[in-house]
Amino acid sequence: MAPDGPLAGTLGAAIGTGAGRGVGLMYLLFAVAMAVLAVVTLRSRLPRLVDETPDALPDHLVGLEALTSQ
């Protein structure tokens, strides 16, 4: 992030300006995005769907049932 760039007054005050600060800003933005995605995912129906869905029968039992039903 350049010392005289457009974000130097706002974000530059928090994370600094100079060499490598733009990459640091990208890391910070991606970390925030990952945290938001994690919170949204945990609040969604997906974790409950995994717990509520019944397990499938193992393959060897399915084959055994097919043989015994004939």
The Cα–Cα gap between 4 and 17 comes to 9
Q: Is residue 36 part of a domain?
A: yes
Q: Is residue 1 part of a domain?
A: no
E strands present in the chain: none
Q: Tokens 């005050």 correspond to what residue?
A: 13
Q: Is residue 5 part of a domain?
A: no
Q: Is residue 4 part of a domain?
A: no
Biggest CA–CA distance in the chain, Å, is: 81
Q: Is residue 56 part of a domain?
A: yes
Share of the chain above pLDDT 70, in %: 83
The Cα–Cα gap between 67 and 14 comes to 69
Which domain range does residue 41 map to?
11-68
Region 2-20: mean pLDDT is: 81
**Which pLDDT does position 60 carry in this prediction?**
67
Q: How many domains does the chain have?
A: 1
Q: Is residue 58 part of a domain?
A: yes
Q: Is residue 54 part of a domain?
A: yes
pTM beyond 0.75: no
